[in-house]
Amino acid sequence: MIFSLSTAAVASQSRTLATERLELWEQTFYRLSDALQGECRAGEHFTLSLVAEDSQFTRMNRARVRQSGQVVDGAVKLTWIANQRTCYRDLPFTGNWAEDWAAVKPALNDLRQEIDQLPEDPFIVLPQRVAGSKGKSRAVYRGNLLDRDRAIAELLGPVQGLDFVGIYAAGLSVRAQSDSAGQRHWFATESFTLDYSLFDLKGQAVKGTFADRTWDSVAYKANVARAQQQLQLMDRPVKAVSKGQYRTYLAPAAMSELILMMSWSCTSEAAIRQGGSPMEQLRVGKRQLSPKFTLRENFSRGLVPQFNSDSEMAPDNLPLIEQGKIVNTTINGRTAQEYDVISNGASDSEDLRAAEVDAGDLAEADILKTLDTGLYLSNLHYLNWSDRPAGRITGMTRYACFWVEQGEIIAPINDLRFDDTLFNFWGDNLIALTQQQELVPAVDTYEHRDLGGTWTPGALIEDFTYTL
Amino acid sequence: MLSTPRTTVRIEPQRMLQSIHASADWVGLRVVKTTETLRGVRDQKPKANGSQVRYGAMVEVLVDGQIGYGATVDLSTKGLQAAADAAILQAHAAAAWGLYPFTEQIRPVVKGNQITAPERALDSLSPKEINDLLIRICYTLKLSDQIIQTSATAIATQRETWFASSNGSDAYQSSASVVMDYEATAKEGLVTQRRGANGWFARAYQGGWEWLLTPQLWEEVQRTGEQAIELLTAPECPSDTRTLVLAPDQMMLQLHESVGHPLELDRILGDERNYAGGSFVQPKDFGHLTYGSPLMNVTFDPTVQGELASYGSDDTGVTARREHLVKDGVLQRGLGSVESQLRSGLPGVANARACSWNRPPIDRMANINLEPGETSFKDMISKIEKGVFMQANSSWSIDDQRYKFQFGCEYAQLIENGEITQTVRNPNYRSTTSDFWQSLSQVGDRSTWEMFGTPVCGKGEPNQIIWVGHASPVCAFDNIEVFGGGE
């Protein structure tokens, strides 16, 4: 068959298909769940998780297309529990009932054979409905995305003449959960993220992100225009800054990189108990953070699912560090069983899913004036613990980073390596947080498109330490 | 026994390709199926037991010089046709905006089967036997109450790839791989130290259980627990400049970050600038740049038996072969696929690799190895008046041009007047790529050479995690800034 439809007609069809696909996925997922329920014998339990997407990925370099394609992907994870033992199968999910059941049914037989060979697991979380909980939720956020046939022109038209590089990812994402206790949770969203950089002829660059559920061409052009303005500042001669300690402003995107480190065995209750987290120092009172610093999980913005893989619902708002003191940790059901604490619906890895740092009192207009002389960092790059128990983090400056003197941007800097502890930069050395928070969207696409992002203000830090 | 789950999917790439109708200059179909079985134990109790099966297809089409792709988990005729339609749509939409006009040349014809069979098959151990093994490792690591956590994980993966195309490709590759990781965390007061098996998930090989169940296993596990406790009372690594000796399990990270990534041609061409970054290496540097001391010889070698990223051809059909990247310290060629070679005019290698069916091939490392020299370990140490010998990576960070780096290790020993002396903890070092490799002063002989790998190298937009191998002898570097931990 010759490809005979016009690309516009295909694009229109694809929107209809997205609606049909969403309905089909939901029907098939719950039908699988019902069928598994029917298979359950006395003493057997299960959970079933779904991750699925229908996404466009367009990769761009020098305001041209490097690679472009579409991915329709889905996977269900069936976790079987019996006789105080558990194991799982994670399988492709097409949305076609016959095909999916043909994969899941033999997997169930395999699980039943395997499970008796395994040791007892004392910390199994049995599916159960929490008293007072409905055990069901359904959130579907439809968007108004660019048609797939015109997305490339819409993206690249306004940036011709610029050295524009990045990734546009857009489409339908689904997360769902069900279990043998009859709990059912469905989260679907149509959204896009555009993660890009603009480079000048000297190789200096600025970073931009643009994400939403509805594409807005005017807002996109304004976003690029702001990045262009910032890029003009990079045209000044680069100042080579020596290693040492400098007063530093961390813009929200830079702050978000540091906050993401809190997901890496930091706020996790299990990590604290098992010697992997610097937060132990807060818990035992050896250190404390600045009273200006409050970190919370805030699910009320609706960007990510509130349920976890045990169908537990996280609270709308969970303060973790409040005015410098640790008040909660992220706890999932398994950790709760092991340490006799109460779960707050955290993920399997007890990472942050809806991180938010409270705003402060520094007006945007006063950032440079209050910084006075020091470094203005737009972004950070490639962070890692250099001494995790001590809370020490190293990483690089990246993109639009400037030397500031007497409240005026003087010059872009050569990239610097920092190495400092969170007890310093969010502790005694935290001068102020800005009045405005920004959403720094999650743009990672490992295995599937991430959802949500980090809400954070900018931060002004005294004596941030640079080492190379 | 039941280590690998059954699946019902039937994969017949030629039939699948013929079922696709697409008006294009070239059509290709790459089907990938992986079965990854993971078993994990913490403190002698099971933590995870299960298998992940993934399969799907990517249809690529070439239209007016532009590749478009459609990838689908649905391997039915209808699903594949929908993927082909999506690929056509993307190729048409992108053709007027394409970065470089490609031809069929970028997808050469490849035929034949390459099947790498392990000595000890992945299903030769039952779930019970694997759990028993991991529990015993945890038990052996738990040498005292100072060990507050032990863990052990084993991952066995079977990977199959089919490739068929309108210009006659018909190829199949199958390989098995195994990964093992174990660690002990020791604690005294607020001092916490972690010691593992050659760094995080570094024991990664192509093959079967023969790579993990070695005669030395239990001796190594015992030593790991002992060293975790030893580190609790060891002094901090000194902060000064001295000769740095790196074991192969840290050299792998050093090679990966400061040789492998900066030589990727897609970074040099700018594709990665928005994510992983660019490179300090410029196109004019190939054939000329003195990358390191004359002792430095680095190869791209996807032909090493048992090394994690060995293969017969890459994911675009290019036959894999060994090439020198750096010879006698001079940069020879980059890590660039046929697409990158055409775009840059530079020599490259067969390294267009995709992490799975749902991501397009991009420039990747495969096995990047430092070739052995002629110095025995004893002779190397005897020549060092003031140094430190670091083992097993624990921390890694490098800038977006792959130039300024800071790396940390799990365990280190001082070298004083030609002898290894005191153990020190929290060892770190920092330098720049050029300065560091220029300071390479001694390269160990074959007896010091070891092979490791990592299953988790991240790169690309959309993001991809792929498996790479690294082998190296012990090496010494002069005048490197080293330092310890703490606040």
Residue B4 falls inside a structural domain: no
Average pLDDT over residues B136-153: 98
The single-letter code of the amino acid at B22 is: A
User: Which residue among B167, B200, B233 closes a domain?
Assistant: B233
- The structural domains of chain A, with segments of one domain joined by +, span 7-233, 244-466
Say how many domains are in chain B.
2
Average pLDDT over residues B343-361: 98
**DSSP-H helix ranges across B114-198:** 127-141
User: Which residue among B206, B233, B260 closes a domain?
Assistant: B233
B262 and B219 in a single domain? The answer is: no
Instruction: Quote the pLDDT of residue B190.
Output: 83
Rounded to an integer, what distance in angstroms lies between the CA atom of residue A341 and that of residue A328?
11
Residue of A nearest to B407 (CA): A386
In B223-295, the DSSP E strands lie at 240-246
- Residues spanned by the domain of B48: 13-233
Check whether B3 has a pLDDT greater than 70.
Answer: no
Question: Mean pLDDT by 10-residue block, N- to C-terminus, for chain A (468 residues)?
Answer: 41 69 96 98 98 98 98 98 98 97 97 97 93 88 95 98 98 97 96 98 95 97 97 95 98 98 95 94 94 98 94 96 97 97 97 98 98 98 95 96 97 96 98 97 96 98 97
B399 and B438 in a single domain? The answer is: yes
Residue of B nearest to A117 (CA): B128
Whether the CB of A197 is below 8 Å from some CB of chain B: the reply is yes
Average pLDDT across chain B, whole number: 96
Residue B303 falls inside a structural domain: yes
Picking from B2, B53, B92, the nearest residue to A113 by CB comes out as B2
Instruction: Quote the pLDDT of residue A13.
Output: 61
Q: Which of A59, A280, A448 to mutate to test the interface with B (most CBs of B within 10 A)?
A: A59
Check whether B165 has a pLDDT greater than 70.
Answer: yes
Picking from B50, B74, B463, the nearest residue to A87 by CB comes out as B50
Alpha-carbon separation of residue A348 from A27, A270, A343 (angstroms): 26, 10, 11
Picking from A3, A73, A392, the nearest residue to B73 by CB comes out as A73
Residue contact A390–B485, C-beta within 8 A: yes
Within 8 A by CB and 6+ apart from B475, the residues are B245, B246, B251, B370, B440, B442, B443, B444
Whether the CB of A157 is below 8 Å from some CB of chain B: the reply is no
User: Which residue among B201, B233, B265 closes a domain?
Assistant: B233
CATH number for the domain including B193? 3.30.2290.10
Instruction: Quote the pLDDT of residue B376.
Output: 98
B224 and B250 in a single domain? The answer is: no
B229 and B244 in a single domain? The answer is: no
Per-residue model confidence as pLDDT tens digits over B438-456: 999 999 999 999 999 999 9
Picking from B66, B185, B397, the nearest residue to A382 by CB comes out as B397
Reported as a pLDDT band with limits 50, 70 and 90, residue B1 is very low
Reported as a pLDDT band with limits 50, 70 and 90, residue B4 is very low
Whether the CB of A64 is below 8 Å from some CB of chain B: the reply is yes
Distance of residue B87 Cα from the nearest chain A Cα, in angstroms: 6
Q: Tally helices (H) and strands (E) across chain A.
A: 10, 20
Instruction: Quote the pLDDT of residue A9.
Output: 52
Residue contact A3–B85, C-beta within 8 A: yes
B192 and B244 in a single domain? The answer is: no
CATH of domain A7-233: 3.30.2290.10
Check whether B159 has a pLDDT greater than 70.
Answer: yes
Instruction: Quote the pLDDT of residue A12.
Output: 58
Check whether B51 has a pLDDT greater than 80.
Answer: yes
Identify the three-state secondary structure at position A176: strand
pTM here is 0.96
Reported as a pLDDT band with limits 50, 70 and 90, residue B229 is very high
C-alpha A359: how far from chain center: 20
B433 and B468 in a single domain? The answer is: yes
Residue B378 falls inside a structural domain: yes
Residue contact B66–A65, C-beta within 8 A: yes
Check whether B237 has a pLDDT greater than 70.
Answer: yes
Instruction: Quote the pLDDT of residue B176.
Output: 98
> What ipTM was predicted for this assembly?
0.96
Residue contact A92–B406, C-beta within 8 A: no
Instruction: Quote the pLDDT of residue A16.
Output: 72
Rounded to an integer, what distance in angstroms lies between the CA atom of residue A253 and that of residue A145?
25
Picking from B91, B135, B408, the nearest residue to A386 by CB comes out as B408
Check whether B177 has a pLDDT greater than 70.
Answer: yes
Within 8 A by CB and 6+ apart from B468, the residues are B256, B260, B308, B309, B364, B365, B366, B367, B368, B453, B454, B457
Average pLDDT over residues B371-385: 98
B254 and B220 in a single domain? The answer is: no
Instruction: Quote the pLDDT of residue A113.
Output: 96
Which residues on neighbouring strands pair with residue B419, listed in sequence order? B416
